[in-house]
Structure 1
Amino acid sequence: MNFDELTRFLEKRVQLPMPGDAAHQKMKPVLANGAPLKLKHSTQPRKGGVLILLYEDSGIVRFPLIQRPNYEGIHSGQMALPGGRYEEEDQDQFQTALRESNEEIGVDQRKVEIIGSLSEFFVAASNYLVLPVIGKIDFKPKFVPEPREVHDVVTPPIRHLVDPVRLKEKEIIVRNGFKLHCPYFDLEGRTVWGATAMMLSEMVEILKEFEGN
């Protein structure tokens, strides 16, 4: 994929209706018996933002994913897009995504050009309403993981999202002991599943449109 052509396409595409939930459902985990996973919360969801940061590296368009450290939390050890929860100091969820990416992997938010966003996504497991922000940067960043929040950073080519060989399924046992049947992306040897895979699934549909042009 050509970086300039892709980012120009995305700048126009984000102004149009998004694939939304239809895309999300393609990567949604279900219980091992095939039943849908239902989670209820008694409080309103908090807002958050994550960043899909596109950059070029030797002619290849890449984006960073982080691996969370192991901790006593629902997303322990999982792969994710850099980002986090909205704070009062943030102007909006776009600012949240930039600030959190700066804190987690050292991305200079002043150098990131915002392209737009995908559909806002409800992360049922943690009760967050997350905006996946698409940004671009015109050089290869040097990522500096914040060790309390990030165990590792991987930078797969964006085209791997539309490579059918990298779309797989397996059983995953989550923290509460439930066995889930999970579609996932195999990216750089890592299992990208759950909310992150569902958000990226919308990006997949848009990338397919781009490749069809």
Structure 2
Amino acid sequence: MPATNYHSFIDALQKRLQKPLPGEEAHRKMASSSRLRLSAKPNERTRRSAVLILFYPYHGSIYLPLILRPQYDGVHAGQMAFPGGRMERTDENLIRTALREAQEEIGIRVNDVQVLGHLTEIFIPPSNFYVLPVIGTMPHAPDFYPDPREVEEVVEVPLEVLLDETIVGDTQIDVRGITIDAPFYQIENHRVWGATAMMIAELLTIIAETE
């Protein structure tokens, strides 16, 4: 998608986000077998969180960043994700959560971000988080300053890569001793699966409806 189309893309996306979202129907396209089999629901211990899906023009195209989580003792170690995290008491809303967490994790300037809207909240049973994907844009490519405690690598992804249907695959993944079938997006040498892939599926469904 040429850079000259950047503003028209952003305008069309913002207008589409004001309409009803495809939600679970789109999520199901990239849901793992365990998620489809188990109907886990939020409970009184579920925590709220948010991630930021950030579009910007770069190298004559439209990009968005993903992050690779470091290896640590946790359920999402070593996974690809959007920058984000849990809501703090000082956050007035989940949009603020997404912006603050993105600033802390990858060093973007919050004041440069225009929020366009959000996708459907998605429940993540392994960590018991309810996550709101917030969509924003910047008029230029950001300088990234990743927090090494939170981010092993920032992966800048051209939108046309996400739009390429050949990056979709399916594999078996061992999760805590249980083998599950997991659809994924192959981005460079990384496999994006789980909740992040489900968010991307809804995003791509919405983008297709703006054309």
TM-score (norm 2): 0.94
Q: 2:200: which partner in 1?
A: 200
* 1:94 counterpart = 2:100: no
Structure 2 residue identity aligned to 1:152? E
Match of residue 17 from structure 1 = 20
Paired position in structure 2 for 1:27: 30
Instruction: Classify the secondary structure of the residue corresponding to 2:180.
Output: strand
| Residue of structure 1 equivalent to 2:45 | 44
Offset, 1:44: 3.2
User: How big is the shift at 1:39?
Assistant: 4.6
Q: In 2, Cα distance between the equivalents of 1:196 and 1:53? A: 14
- Quick one: distance in 2 between partners of 1:22 and 1:205? 10
**Structure 1 vs Structure 2: percent identity of aligned residues?**
43
Quick one: which amino acid aligns to residue 75 of structure 2? I
- On the 8 A contact 1:162/1:208 being kept in 2, the answer is no
* Structure 1: runs of 5 or more not aligned: none
* Counterpart Cα distance in 2 of 1:77 and 1:164: 24
Q: Report the Cα offset of residue 143 of structure 1.
A: 0.9
Q: 2 CA distance for matches of 1:94 and 1:41?
A: 20
The one-letter amino acid paired with 2:192 is V
Q: Which amino acid is the alignment partner of residue 95 of structure 1?
A: R
Q: For 2:42 and 2:120, how far apart are their aligned partners in 1?
A: 21
Secondary structure in 2 matching 1:182: strand
Does structure 2 retain, via aligned residues, the 8 Å contact 1:104–1:145? Answer: yes
Q: TM-score, normalised by structure 1?
A: 0.93
39-48 vs 143-152, which deviates more? 39-48
Letter in 2 for 1:24: H
Q: For residue 162 of structure 1, report the CA deviation from its aligned partner.
A: 2.2
Any idea what SS the aligned residue of 1:4 has? helix
- Partner SS state of residue 157, structure 2: coil
Q: How does 1:13-162 map to 2 (within 5 A)?
A: 13-31=16-34, 36-37=37-38, 39=40, 43-162=44-163
CA distance in 2, matches of 1:150, 1:35: 29
Matched positions, count: 208
| RMSD between superposed Cα atoms in Å | 1.6
**Runs of 4+ in structure 1 displaced over 6 angstroms?**
none
Unaligned runs of 5+ in 2: none
